[in-house]
Amino acid sequence: MKIYYNNAMSKKMTANVWVNDKQYSLATNDHLELNVKRGDKVQYKVGKFSAKRSIDFQSTGASFSIEPDKKLQGIYIAIMLAVLLLLWYMKSENSPLVYIILIVAIAGYEAVNYFRGYMARPMH
d(CA 55, CA 68): 15
What is the per-residue pLDDT for 109?
86
Please name the residues in contact with 123: beta carbons below 8 A apart, sequence gap of 6 or more. Answer: 2, 4, 63, 64, 65
**pLDDT exceeds 70 at position 27:** yes
pLDDT band at 17 (very low <50, low <70, confident <90, very high): very high
pLDDT band at 91 (very low <50, low <70, confident <90, very high): confident
3-state helix, strand, coil in the chain (%, to 5): 35, 30, 35
d(CA 106, CA 87): 15
The residue range of the domain holding 31 is 2-123
**Using CA of residue 36, residue 37, residue 40, residue 43, what is the dihedral sign?**
positive
Please name the residues in contact with 52: beta carbons below 8 A apart, sequence gap of 6 or more. Answer: 18, 43, 44, 45
pLDDT band at 93 (very low <50, low <70, confident <90, very high): low
What is the per-residue pLDDT for 92?
66
Total count of domains within the chain: 1
